[in-house]
Chains A and B, each alone.
Chain A
Amino acid sequence: MTDIHEYLAEFDDIPGTRVYTAARARQGYHLNQFAMSLMKEENRKRFHADEKAYLDEWPITDEQKQAVLDRDYNRLLDLGGNIYFLSKVFSSDGLSFVQAVSTMTGMSVEDYQAMMMAGGRPAPGNRSIKDKN
């Protein structure tokens, strides 16, 4: 049987990646449920009319609220957000996956798209922090 502690520890060795573990799912529960509420048109309207007021209706931390207001997606991942839920936030802003995802990479949208057209980010060098491969 797999040792759950070893299983989870390996995830932290992947560069530039936050695996959506149970710990993150707990931390981000209400944050993700807030994002989920934007599936409904009337909620999207209320959110965009007054973002702060809408966020205050949810039992989420000030840090999480600020990260939503800043659209800081890496920060949101660190605070327990999951990308499929966060996609409801950027979709409601009219952003595509490519546009939103590129903001997490430190690249401009144009550079990110050019990288994808050229075959994407290579796996070699991006597999492991400790093995540097």
Chain B
Amino acid sequence: MARITHGIACSHIPVLGYAFDHGKDGEDYFKPAFEGFDWTRQFMEEEKPDVIVLVYNDHASAFDMKIIPTFAIGTGEIYQPADEGFGARPVPPVEGHADLAWHIAQSLILDEFDMTIINEMEVDHGLTVPLSMMYGHVEKWPVKVIPLAVNVVTYPPPSGNRCWLLGEAIARAVESFPEDLKVQVWGTGGMSHQLQGPRAGLINKEWDNMFLDKLIGDTQDLRHIPHIEYLRETGSEGIEMVMWLIMRGALGKSTKALHRHYHVPVSNTALGHLVLEPVDGSVPPSPTLEGNNAAAQALIA
């Protein structure tokens, strides 16, 4: 059976991609940001996960204002890096895992998460920067990726609680996939940052570290933080951290931290990174009719 082995949280600041692509990661300004990923690159080489469910948000690249899906899952075979206005990042195309992705999509819908299904799209820095941070320079990504895009741009984004519940539903879906696969769930974006208006540049180290602390262990406090608290405490773009709660929800009842990194500033943003392992990975059973219906589940098995 497929199983969730680890969760990774990571900011997806675009300038990290720029520095990485242009060999500037050793410069004084970027060095402390990049050094915090040395441990993780080593870890990924040893761990070799088969698939990553990569939770991120699109930044006006694949989606414009025409269509705004709250939760969208990529079920395609391959995703090309997007040209975000200054040429596409020189990184390999991202290979999907269509079988597992379709299995998760179907399971989530039966679990009453009304997913948008995407067969073709380009992926922007939100998805490719974390891959570069975790794998370094590669000819081909040594892992398959299931993109899971969340709307955190147009209000209201999903609540933290909803994100946590989605994570639990992803865990149930992965567990019911018959192939033996090591699956990681990544939550990206954040931490505190504000890119607009006279209050731009807001950073809140104290709050960010509280958030990192509470992703570890068995507390569920984070799922109850309202949007207004993210906005006031972490800047208008800090709301991206709700995506980390999808990762946390998928890891089950309790976690331990294997690695933690925090650095200010990278451009306008506080960089946060955490590698988590489930201690008790159990999640509540599906509360839904179809989720508990053997015939419905047999159809997607």
Interface residues of A (CB under 8 A from B): 7, 10-11, 14-22, 25, 29, 32-33, 35-36, 38-39, 44, 73-74, 77, 82-85, 87-88, 91-92, 96-98, 101-102, 104-106, 112, 115-117, 119-123, 126-128
Q: Are B200 and A25 in contact (CB under 8 A)?
A: no
11 CB < 8 A contacts A-B: A11-B231, A17-B194, A17-B199, A20-B155, A32-B60, A74-B197, A91-B84, A116-B203, A120-B201, A121-B201, A127-B233
Q: Is B232 an interface residue (CB 8 A)?
A: yes
Q: Are A123 and B207 in contact (CB under 8 A)?
A: yes
What is the CB-to-nearest-CB distance from B105 to chain A, in angstroms, rounded to a whole number?
Answer: 26
Which parts of B200-241 form the interface with A (CB within 8 Å)?
200-207, 227-228, 231-234, 236-237
Q: Are A36 and B84 in contact (CB under 8 A)?
A: no
Q: Are A39 and B83 in contact (CB under 8 A)?
A: yes
Beyond A18-B236, A120-B202, list 4 extra A-B contacts (CB 8 Å): A16-B200, A22-B154, A122-B202, A123-B234
Q: Are A83 and B233 in contact (CB under 8 A)?
A: no
Which of B180-188, B261-269, B275-283 forms part of the interface with chain A? B261-269
Contact for B199 among A29, A44, A102, A126, CB less than 8 A: A126
Q: Are B232 and A91 in contact (CB under 8 A)?
A: no
Q: Across the interface, which residues of B come within 8 angstroms of A38, CB to CB?
A: 85
Q: Across the interface, which residues of A come within 8 angstroms of B264, CB to CB?
A: 116, 119-120
Query: If the complex has contacts A20-B155, A97-B14, are A85 and B231 also in contact, measured as CB distance less than 8 A?
Result: no
Q: How far is the CA of A104 from the CA of B227 in the complex (A)?
A: 23
How many chain B residues touch A (Cβ–Cβ < 8 Å)?
A: 44
Q: Across the interface, which residues of A come within 8 angstroms of B83, CB to CB?
A: 39
Q: Are B197 and A127 in contact (CB under 8 A)?
A: no
Q: How far is the CA of A104 from the CA of B202 in the complex (A)?
A: 13
What is the CB-to-nearest-CB distance from B93 to chain A, in angstroms, rounded to a whole number?
Answer: 19
What is the CB-to-nearest-CB distance from B205 to chain A, in angstroms, rounded to a whole number?
Answer: 7
- How many A-B Cβ pairs are below 8 Å? 149
Q: Is B257 an interface residue (CB 8 A)?
A: no
Q: Are B267 and A120 in contact (CB under 8 A)?
A: no
Contact for B267 among A16, A85, A98, CB less than 8 A: A98
Interface residues of B (CB under 8 A from A): 14-15, 59-61, 64-66, 83-86, 153-156, 192, 194-207, 227-228, 231-234, 236-237, 264-265, 267-268, 270
Q: Across the interface, which residues of A come within 8 angstroms of B197, CB to CB?
A: 16-18, 74, 77, 104
Q: How far is the CA of A74 from the CA of B205 in the complex (A)?
A: 26
Q: Are A97 and B267 in contact (CB under 8 A)?
A: yes
Q: Are B60 and A88 in contact (CB under 8 A)?
A: yes
Which chain B residue shows the least CB distance to A92? B85
Q: Are A83 and B64 in contact (CB under 8 A)?
A: no
Q: Are B198 and A16 in contact (CB under 8 A)?
A: yes
Query: If the complex has contacts A11-B231, A14-B231, A36-B65, are A121 and B270 also in contact, measured as CB distance less than 8 A?
Result: no
Q: Are A17 and B196 in contact (CB under 8 A)?
A: yes
Q: Are A82 and B153 in contact (CB under 8 A)?
A: yes
Which chain B residue shows the least CB distance to A38? B85
Query: If the complex has contacts A36-B60, A85-B60, A123-B207, are A20 and B201 also in contact, measured as CB distance less than 8 A?
Result: no
Q: Across the interface, which residues of B come within 8 angstroms of A127, CB to CB?
A: 232-233
Query: If the complex has contacts A25-B65, A82-B60, A85-B60, are A101 and B232 also in contact, measured as CB distance less than 8 A?
Result: no
Query: If the complex has contacts A21-B155, A91-B85, are A15 and B199 also in contact, measured as CB distance less than 8 A?
Result: yes
Highest count of chain B CB atoms <10 Å: which of A16, A74, A117: A16
Q: Are B84 and A39 in contact (CB under 8 A)?
A: yes
Highest count of chain B CB atoms <10 Å: which of A35, A87, A120: A120
Query: If the complex has contacts A14-B199, A101-B201, are A84 and B267 also in contact, measured as CB distance less than 8 A?
Result: no
Which chain B residue shows the least CB distance to A30? B65
